Amino acid sequence: MELRYEKVTNKSFDEAIRSITESLKEKKFGVLWQLNLKDKMNEHGIDFPNNFMILEVCNPHKANEVLTKHIEMGYFLPCKMVVYEKDGTVRIGTARPEILMSMSGYDDLGDVAREVEKILIEAINNAI
């Protein structure tokens, strides 16, 4: 099973970021933080060639459900999504929560992990 879910879009890099942010908002997920990796690398004198935006996204109710059961799951939260350019295409993707949470060994998180993953995949599909 693939650790990430990713789709190519015909949108520009900036349009894709706006689109996934709006799509997430419609699914009651907010962007808590974002990092433009290309800009950050350039600040350190590194000429990183690709646009690459990291978005940390969260639904507070889902996060509360997970953290109330197992506070240690904070290592996996918030969910990470990326928008980046590769080989002339723009891609939107996420690490799959069901796989990440399955690595924790907590069997009681499967349902919420599947639910969150379904929502994030729908958000990506709606954003492309």
Query: Rounded to an integer, what distance in angstroms lies between the CA atom of residue 67 and that of residue 48?
Result: 36
The confidence score (pLDDT) of residue 1 equals 73
What three-state secondary structure class fits 77? coil
Return the number of other C-beta atoms located less than 10 Å from residue 21's C-beta. Answer: 19
Query: Rounded to an integer, what distance in angstroms lies between the CA atom of residue 35 and that of residue 122?
Result: 23
What is the biggest distance separating any 2 CA atoms in the chain, rounded to whole angstroms? 45
Helix (H) or strand (E) holding 114: helix 110-127
Closest CA to 94 of 7, 1, 34: 7
The confidence score (pLDDT) of residue 115 equals 96
Q: What tens-digit pLDDT sequence spans the chain (128 residues)?
A: 799 999 999 999 999 999 999 999 999 999 999 999 999 999 999 999 999 999 999 999 999 999 999 999 999 999 999 999 999 999 999 999 999 888 888 989 999 999 999 999 999 999 99
Across the beta sheet with 79-86, the strand order is: 4-9, 89-95, 79-86, 52-58, 30-36
The confidence score (pLDDT) of residue 101 equals 87
The confidence score (pLDDT) of residue 12 equals 97
